[in-house]
Amino acid sequence: MNFEDFRKSIELKLDSIVEFELLEFHFKPYSFGNGILAYRIKGRNHKFIFDGRENELIWLIGKSHQKYFEGKLTEFKRVDGLEINKEELEIGIKNSAQHRV
């Protein structure tokens, strides 16, 4: 799976659990397949950064009602590869309400 496929996959999962707004999408297939994907979900910014060289996905979350380009994001989760299942998304979104930055 490449980062573009990951975007389609995560949006299908998100669509079934919550409303979201796409804030940013960058896919660099020429640079190890790196990518950046950001959403606004329930008033918080959720950003996924994929390092294709290390095959590592980092999920960052911002404070509630923070502007995207001005806000500080903190690491919420780090996984190998490009796979986050629906249950992990549900738990992450739910827990982000209690997540302190």
Question: What's the average model confidence in pLDDT over 23-31?
Answer: 89
pLDDT confidence of residue 63: 84
Percent of the chain scoring above 90 in pLDDT: 63
User: Average pLDDT of 21-35?
Assistant: 90
Which residue do the tokens 């950001």 mark?
38
Whole-number pLDDT of residue 101 = 46
Strand-pairing partners, residue 62, are 73
CA distances from 47 to 32, 39, 83 (A): 19, 6, 15
Section 39-59 average pLDDT: 94
Distant-in-sequence, close-in-space partners of 63: CB < 8 Å, separation ≥ 6: 44, 71, 72, 101
